[in-house]
Amino acid sequence: MKQLIQAIERGRFAVFGRAGMDMFATPQGVKAENAETFLADLGGSSANICAGLCKLGMQSALVTSVSDDTVGRFCTNRLRHYGVDTQYVKVIGGEHRVSLAVYESTMDDFQLCIYRNNAVDFQVTEEDVDRVNYADFGALITAGTVFAAEPSRSSTFRAFENAREAGLPVIFDIDYRPYSWPSAEVASDVLTCAGEQSDLIVGNDEEFGFMAGGIEKGLNKARELAAKGKMVIYKMGHEGAITLVGDEEIRTGIYPVTAIKPNGAGDSFIAGLLAGIAEGRPLREAVLRGSACASMVVSQPGCAPAMPTTAQLEDFLADHPGPTET
């Protein structure tokens, strides 16, 4: 566990997964089908994590593919805007496309419509991941969506091998999205395999339950993984989180806010957690900083633009009454 912490403290992360375009209805409260105006910005779980890390003073590089069109260039430009290293972003021609997410800033029957037809991010190859200079980074991060299709699935497992050889730990956000997978059975098998090969695993109670074959078995699955020497963050929505390290279980609450959307919280949580650890903060405090980042994102429009800077996070923590009791 000490090696994992020391690796994260380098503050440099190679992140595998997708970049996408988010289009969210404006003004706040307007349903997407009634909107006359939309704002656009960077989206996609892994890209959001990258942006969140950079805004908190860390360094990140995204390993992905984007389409050779105006939307792909938009995503690459927005990655650079947030300070993300794009040297491992490959441009692909043809009919593969960047993902598009359309949503709104209201919790009243919240709607999120994702277009993943012929997704370009699934086209990352073993050759692509072999190009990464793993020695430049402290840790590898991946979201579970990369495992939903080939060649991205095999190439990411290849990246795990490369990271091991370079002495990098693997940080795995389960991020189960049913619409990306051919079947629940395949998803369960593959995500379980990825978890077994990871050093830090982050997921919610439903995701761990899915891997275990039932939500009631999720916490036991998390404990099983922790018993194998992994750090596990078991998120429970409004009930907070349990961080499992060996025999220790750290329970933390959330920072209540008025949410205007649910998406982006998990990405911001990971960015805040890792930045907190990288800054040398105690694990409990790092988890709480991740929780604060998640609360900030769901209370504002957009995902990447809503990720807090360090100064914004400090202001939030200073002004907020504190996390809920667990």
Peptide bond into 151 cis (omega under 30): yes
- Looking at residue 197, its pLDDT comes to 97
Averaged pLDDT, 196-213? 92
Over 80: is that where the pLDDT of 298 sits? yes
CB 41 within 8 A of CB 302: yes
Over 90: is that where the pLDDT of 179 sits? no
CB 76 within 8 A of CB 42: no
- Looking at residue 211, its pLDDT comes to 86
Q: What is the pLDDT of residues 237-250, one digit of tens each?
A: 889 999 999 889 99
Averaged pLDDT, 207-212? 89
State the Cα angle at 70 between 64 and 73, rounded to 5°: 40
Over 90: is that where the pLDDT of 212 sits? no
Task: Please spell the DSSP secondary structure of 175-198, one letter per residue.
Answer: ---GGGSS-HHHHHHHHHHHHHT-
Over 80: is that where the pLDDT of 326 sits? no
CA separation for the pair 96, 6 (Å, rounded) = 39
CA dihedral 135, 121, 181, 196 (to 10 degrees): 0
Mean pLDDT is lowest, of 114-128, 137-151, 171-185, for 171-185
- Looking at residue 162, its pLDDT comes to 98
Over 80: is that where the pLDDT of 187 sits? yes
Residue 97, both tokens: 């496309």
Peptide bond into 321 cis (omega under 30): no
CA separation for the pair 103, 128 (Å, rounded) = 32
User: Where residue 221 falls among pLDDT bands split at 50, 70, 90?
Assistant: very high
Q: Is the pTM of this model over 0.95?
A: yes
> Which residue type occupies 199?
D
Q: What is the pLDDT of residues 31-83, one digit of tens each?
A: 999 999 999 999 999 999 999 999 999 999 999 999 999 999 999 999 999 99
Q: Where are the domains of the chain?
A: 2-309
Going by the DSSP 8-state scheme, the letter that residue 214 receives in this structure is S
CA dihedral 128, 133, 136, 137 (to 10 degrees): 40
**102-130 burial code (b ≥16 CB/10 A, e <16):** bbbbbeeebeeebebeebbbbbbbbebbe
| Arithmetic mean of pLDDT over the chain | 96
Over 80: is that where the pLDDT of 261 sits? yes
Q: What is the pLDDT of residues 107-143, one digit of tens each?
A: 999 999 999 999 999 999 999 999 999 999 999 999 9
Percent of the chain with pLDDT over 70: 100
- Looking at residue 282, its pLDDT comes to 96
- Looking at residue 322, its pLDDT comes to 82
CB 99 within 8 A of CB 39: no
Averaged pLDDT, 78-94? 98
The CATH homologous superfamily for domain 2-309 is Ribokinase (3.40.1190.20)
